[in-house]
């Protein structure tokens, strides 16, 4: 199968991408537009990119908003209360059904790689055991990374360390954490040291919910970064949210960024979720409660966007479309300058791939897996401006999803 008349990001001209089974066999510059043959996919001079990536979602909680009650205040804290009530009702099959339905929504929007956090503050590890089965059952749709996520803490939850260790033994790919939620700062620091030990010992990656609060005194990012620096694990470590950084003063950030560059860890921002949940204790002026995405990017640090929630106690909306998050994030993070827009797809493709440590399993290069998207516009700017979509998703050399764009008829 060939994909013809493709524009590639950062390159002039049109390309033909030759797929041989599950691999990319060749990428050739065309002398001009080609007429499609029977089995060709015609990109029609639009962008062809590697698949979109969802680097941060909670598949065990999706599609539960309103069960048993709605989050009326819209705060993170009422969300945690609602989830505690819903969590008591979850079953193995309930989690698998909702996770698969949500993954279908992601696939429909061109996503083929997903990192899901799964709550392991549960003596039975019900959600984790279900998600390990889901990971196997959806391999033809997505590569799924599972984070052992201690929603109610490691040091502050009964047998928290034991549950994290058991989750890794059962098959979690990534070790999580939530140091700002631990009962004391000391517990927070201890939790980071514990989870980094566990990751180093087991070979797991690390992705910590870090400083997801407007409290400018929440400073666990420096603890995580220093642990990563000392252990030389930066490329394998991700700090998610870090929204307190939006409240840090510039003098502290000046010092912090020096450490972040030395540690060279990855960042995930979930701008729609954060703008909704944070700033809730402010009157006016009201903080945005989002991390310094543009500043991290300009400092050369790796940062990407995630959805976090789809219709759950923390966020009532969402449809699986990561481009909706990208457009909102560019607005929220003051990144609508031309240069930022023109490379904005990095935030949902290559940057996310680096966060997930996908290496040579990702990217449009000869010899790599035949996974790609045909988009509806010729460049990043037009994708954002026109609210473009993924039109075709190819996985392992086969068409996984095809979208027919809406047709508009005008009569005058």
391 — phi, psi (to 5°)? -95, -35
Smaller CB separation from Fe ion, 4 or 208: 208
Cβ burial, residue 289 (10 Å; 0-12/13-18/19+): buried
Least distance to Fe ion, CB of residue 373, Å: 25
C-beta of 308 vs 379, nearer to Fe ion: 308
- What angle, rounded to 10 degrees, do the helices at 220-231 and 250-263 form? 20
404 CB-contact burial (10 Å; exposed 0-12 / middle 13-18 / buried 19+): exposed
Give the shortest CB-164-to-Fe ion separation in angstroms: 17
Of 41 and 105, CB closest to Fe ion? 105
The site map against Fe ion for 258-297 (x = CB under 5 A) is: ----------------------------------------
Contact 363, 369 (CB under 8 A): no
Query: Minimum distance from CB of 371 to Fe ion (Å)?
Result: 25
| Two structure tokens written together for 360 | 């040579």
Q: How far is the CB of 368 from Fe ion (least distance, A)?
A: 29
Residues 124, 235: Cα–Cα separation, whole Å: 32
Taking the least distance from each CB to Fe ion, the nearer of 173 and 308 is 308
Length of the chain: 412
State yes or no: is 212 an active-site residue.
Answer: yes
Rg (CA), the chain: 21
State the minimum distance, in angstroms, from the CB of residue 41 to Fe ion.
35
Query: Active-site residue among 212, 222, 339, 360?
Result: 212
Record the tokens describing residue 142, joined without a space.
Answer: 């997505």
Of 42 and 308, which CB lies nearer to Fe ion in the complex structure? 308
Taking residues 294 to 313 in sequence order and writing x for each that binds Fe ion by CB under 5 A, - otherwise, the string is --------------x-----
Alpha-carbon gap, residue 46 to 301, rounded angstroms = 29
CB of 209 to Fe ion, least distance (A): 6
CB under 8 A, 24+ apart: contacts of 282-286 = 282/214
Strands 23-29 and 15-20: antiparallel
Q: Report how many residues bind Fe ion under the rule CB under 5 A.
A: 1
Q: Which is nearer to Fe ion, 270 or 377 (CB)?
A: 270
Residue 144 and residue 132: Cα distance in Å, rounded? 9
| Closest to Fe ion by CB, 52 or 149 | 149
- The answer for residues whose C-beta is within 8 angstroms of residue 134's C-beta and 6 or more apart is 59, 95, 96, 99, 100, 103, 144
Please say whether the beta carbons of 261 and 308 come within 8 A.
no
Q: Which residue's CB atom is positioned nearest to Fe ion?
A: 308
Distance CA 112, CA 50 (A): 9
Per-residue binder mask for Fe ion (CB under 5 A), 308-337, x = binder: x-----------------------------
Supply φ then ψ for residue 372, to 5 degrees.
Answer: -160, 170
Going by C-alpha positions, the residue among 216, 208, 275 that lies closest to residue 236 is 208
C-beta of residue 79 within 8 angstroms of C-beta of residue 406: no
Supply the minimum distance, in Å, between the C-beta of residue 172 and Fe ion: 15
What stretches of 301-386 adopt beta strand conformation (E)?
302-305, 372-375
Report, as residue numbers or ranges, the catalytic residues: 212
Which residues in this chain contact Fe ion in the complex, by CB under 5 A? Answer: 308
């Amino acid at each position: 199968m060939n994909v013809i008349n493709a524009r590639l990001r950062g390159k002039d001209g049109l390309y033909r991408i030759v797929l041989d089974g599950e691999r990319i066999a060749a990428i050739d510059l065309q002398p001009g537009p080609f007429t499609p043959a029977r089995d060709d996919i015609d990109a029609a001079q639009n962008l062809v990119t590697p698949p979109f990536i969802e680097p941060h979602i909670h598949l065990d909680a999706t599609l539960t908003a309103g069960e048993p009650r709605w989050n009326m205040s819209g705060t993170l804290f009422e969300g945690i209360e609602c989830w505690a009530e819903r969590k008591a009702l979850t079953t193995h099959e309930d989690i698998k059904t909702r996770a698969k339905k949500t993954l279908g929504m992601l696939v429909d929007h061109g996503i083929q790689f997903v990192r899901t956090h799964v709550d392991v503050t549960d003596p039975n590890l019900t959600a984790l055991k279900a998600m390990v089965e889901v990971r196997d059952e959806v391999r033809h749709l997505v590569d799924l990374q599972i984070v052992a996520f201690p929603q109610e803490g490691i040091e502050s939850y009964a047998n928290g360390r034991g549950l994290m260790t058991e989750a890794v033994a059962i098959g979690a790919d990534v070790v999580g954490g939530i140091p700002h939620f631990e009962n004391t700062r000391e517990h927070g620091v201890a939790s980071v040291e514990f989870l980094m030990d566990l990751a180093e010992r087991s070979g797991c990656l690390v992705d910590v919910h870090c400083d997801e609060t407007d409290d400018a005194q929440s400073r666990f990012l420096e603890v995580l970064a220093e642990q990563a620096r000392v252990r030389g694990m930066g490329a394998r470590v991700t700090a998610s949210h870090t929204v307190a950084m939006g409240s840090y003063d510039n003098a502290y950030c000046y010092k912090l960024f020096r450490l972040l560059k030395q540690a060279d860890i990855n960042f995930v921002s979930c701008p729609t979720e954060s703008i909704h949940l944070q700033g809730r204790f402010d009157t006016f002026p009201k903080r945005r409660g989002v991390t310094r995405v543009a500043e991290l990017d300009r400092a050369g640090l790796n940062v990407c966007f995630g959805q976090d929630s789809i219709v759950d106690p923390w966020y009532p909306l969402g449809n699986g479309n990561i481009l909706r998050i990208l457009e909102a994030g560019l607005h929220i993070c003051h990144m609508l300058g031309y240069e930022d827009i023109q490379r904005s797809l990095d935030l949902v493709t290559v940057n996310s791939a680096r966060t997930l440590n996908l290496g040579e399993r990702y990217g449009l290069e000869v010899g790599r897996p035949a996974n790609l998207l045909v988009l509806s516009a010729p460049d990043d700017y037009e994708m954002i401006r026109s609210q473009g979509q993924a039109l075709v998703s190819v996985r392992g050399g086969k068409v996984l999803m095809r979208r027919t764009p809406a047709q508009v008829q005008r009569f005058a």
